[in-house]
Amino acid sequence: ANEKATAEIKMEQICELLRNEVPYYDWVGFYFANHDAKTLHLGAYAGEETDHTVIPFGKGICGQVAVSNENFVVPDVKAQDNYIACSITVKAEIVVPIFKNGVNIGQIDIDSNTADPFSKEDEVFLQWICEGVAKIC
Ligand code: SME
């Protein structure tokens, strides 16, 4: 239980750090999968509180990544049909899956109030973050 608390604190610190240091990261959070229930559950996050603490697989950008196992970069959220709006200020989103022993166990989700801000560099950087997170989960 103690190790779990430590991991949770580390993930909170990662969220805060990313949100504070990258100007176009306005909401940063981790969702973790329950493969039996086929739902994602919000873990640590930094930014505004969200109603979307549980997301079914397949629903929204996050839910799609739970089944696709691939990064999802959304330059313009308005152009997405399968999207769950958390805040009207959000213009773009990036979701990168977390793999542990080859299994998609969750994801990092970042919302931006800037239009089309994410590049390949963000994907590579966030994949590296996710590899680190997988090690402490
Ligand atoms: N926009 C996400 C929902 C989560 S919030 O961004 C925190 C989605 O479409 O899956």
Q: How far is the CA of 40 from the centre of ligand 1 (A)?
A: 11
pLDDT of residue 2: 76
CB 68 within 8 A of CB 55: no
Tell me which of 30, 72, 86, 112 to substitute to probe ligand 1's pocket, judged by most ligand atoms within 8 Å of the beta carbon. 86
Residue 50 Cβ < 6 Å to ligand 1: yes
| Each residue's pLDDT tens digit, 2-14 | 776 899 999 999 9
| Each residue's pLDDT tens digit, 31-44 | 999 999 999 999 99
Average pLDDT across the chain, whole number: 96
pLDDT of residue 3: 72
ipTM of the complex: 0.96
Residue holding tokens 């739970």?
66
Residue holding tokens 């969750």?
106
Residue 117 Cβ < 6 Å to ligand 1: no
Residue 28 Cβ < 6 Å to ligand 1: no
CB 96 within 8 A of CB 107: yes
What is the pLDDT averaged over residues 71-97?
97
Residue holding tokens 């989960």?
137
Residue 111 Cβ < 6 Å to ligand 1: yes
What is the pLDDT averaged over residues 85-101?
96
Q: How many other CB atoms are found less than 10 A from the CB of residue 31? A: 26
> Alpha helix (H) ranges present in the chain?
2-21, 60-68, 120-136
What is the Cα 16 distance to its own chain's centre? 13
- Domains in the chain (CATH in brackets) are 2-136 (3.30.450.40)
